[in-house]
Structure 1
């Protein structure tokens, strides 16, 4: 079983075939689901090509719910500040083995390759684990402020994301958005939020999922956001 989180492009170039050599591009998978279907089941760091610009990125595997997930965000210990500007949220930051944000540019490229679903795993300070699943997920390009398209909720927690944040543009503290300034983070804000998974780890602007305690003053302990193709089916062991 497998899921992934993206590392930096510069560190992965040597792992991928040359982008100019189209004959070998098929050897560099496009996401973690394609890694899974090529027989990769172990956690680790792998290389992918993101269409349409065919840049290489390395990926880290972990595992929930059948595998094949590409991790796009992880929070767990407060070791990485998410109080960042537009360019850092665009390009990504952190380390995939720990806390990180994939990068909106890469997230747009990934989610535009086909039809993707989103899964969000949530954990509180009492070690309670819940998840939210969205049947459809993608974000627009930078010209359209990485606008969010998310729908089709199911899961073990009440939805605090799609019903309020769908169709919102991404904002960061340096874009003039008052919600981003107050929250010290980048997110798809909408006057301001019912979920903000990029807030500070502690405090009133923490990792918020409003329906968890019907409050935006309770910060969760950990969260992972990940995507995979809607058509993904895990291979069952004989």
Structure 2
């Protein structure tokens, strides 16, 4: 800072008071983070109470829902898995429709769960995983551990407010680790919703392809250009904003902060429901079903694991 004249020295008692105030403020931040960690541990404990104790042995856990399906479990529902590298077991929802073996990592239904979350919350996950209609994000660490195990496909099921359904699938889905800001990688597209992750048509403005973009939150923005605002997550950049603000209807305005999939309904239509899931690319699934309406998956208790030489343990 440039100064035109020397300033009077600050008395020691005022310096001490200022430092004490700063320490108090930092302690409040630490206490808030500590409470959040305790809430996470408590939530995980309550979640595991829903699952049979006989299913929690570390030597009996699948690596993903593809292994669950490959082992003969064909009912959609809650299962416990432990991906390679994960320090803990994960409770996940396995969707056995559309060929089976899908690990669901995001669900939007009715806007009850806010997705305008911090970096730490997206890192660990949040929301209601255990209700068939619950909204949640599985967690960026979990996504990294899952997709680092091999080749995975991404599937996105969407429904608008008129009951129309579309889907998008991508090969070579991968999420990097936190050190690399959970960078997103997707490959070849197929489906009926259009390729919003690779499309980049923005009249009069710059635009990013979402393939290769880094994850962003309000408290840790990454990959932000002068004409691009990433407000809530890495799937937000003009063409795709699946973690955007939930509107109670097909909201239209001169902004794209809703749940947007540009190649289906354009930038300013907020979609009613979204389910995002991943599956091992080499899974030999059942014959594909027609896209099921979101919420129609049956709820099932985890099945006990059979001795199967095909399991990748």
What TM-score, normalized to structure 1?
Answer: 0.84
1:87-143 Cα offsets, whole Å, 9 max, x none, are 001100001231101100000000111110001111111111010010110010000
Unaligned 5+ segments in structure 1 are: 1-7, 19-24
After the TM superposition, which residues 20-59 of structure 1 pair with which residues of structure 2 at under 5 Å, given as runs? 25=59, 27-59=60-92
Following the alignment from structure 2 to structure 1, what is the Cα–Cα distance between the partners of residues 142 and 187?
20
Tell me, yes or no, if structure 1 residue 210 matches structure 2 residue 250. Answer: no
CA apart distance, 1:46:
1.3
For the pair shown, the structure with the greater C-alpha radius of gyration is 2
- Give the whole-Å Cα distance in 1 for the aligned partners of 2:89 and 2:44: 6
8 A contact 1:147–1:188 mirrored in 2: no
Higher strand share: 1
Task: Choose the corresponding residue for 1:116, options 138, 147, 152.
Answer: 152
Q: 1:12–1:56: 8 Å Cα contact kept in structure 2?
A: no
Name the CA distance, whole Å, in 2 between partners of 1:223 and 1:94: 15
Task: Judge conservation of contact 1:66–1:234 (CA < 8 Å) in 2.
Answer: yes
Distance in 2 between residues matched to 1:152 and 1:175, nearest whole Å: 29
**Count of aligned pairs between the two proteins:** 218
CA contact (8 A) 1:82 1:184 kept: no
Aligned residue for 1:175?
220
User: SS at the partner of 1:216?
Assistant: coil
Distance in 2 (CA, whole Å) between partners of 1:74 and 1:17 is 28
Using the TM superposition, give the Cα deviation of residue 183 of structure 1 relative to its aligned residue in structure 2, in angstroms.
Answer: 6.2
For residues 11-160 of structure 1, the aligned pairs below 5 Å read: 11-12=47-48, 15-18=55-58, 25=59, 27-96=60-129, 97=131, 98-160=134-196
* Contact 1:68-1:228 at 8 Å conserved across structures: yes
Deviation per CA, 1:20-61, whole angstroms, max 9, x where unpaired?
Answer: xxxxx2x21011110111111112221111211352111223
* Segment drifting more, 51-60 vs 133-142: 51-60
Match of 1:186 among 233, 240, 265: 233
- Looking at structure 2, the residues matched to 167 and 182 of structure 1 have their Cα atoms a distance apart, in angstroms, of 16
Q: 2:275 is paired with a residue of what secondary structure? A: strand
| Alignment-derived partner of residue 7 in structure 2 | none
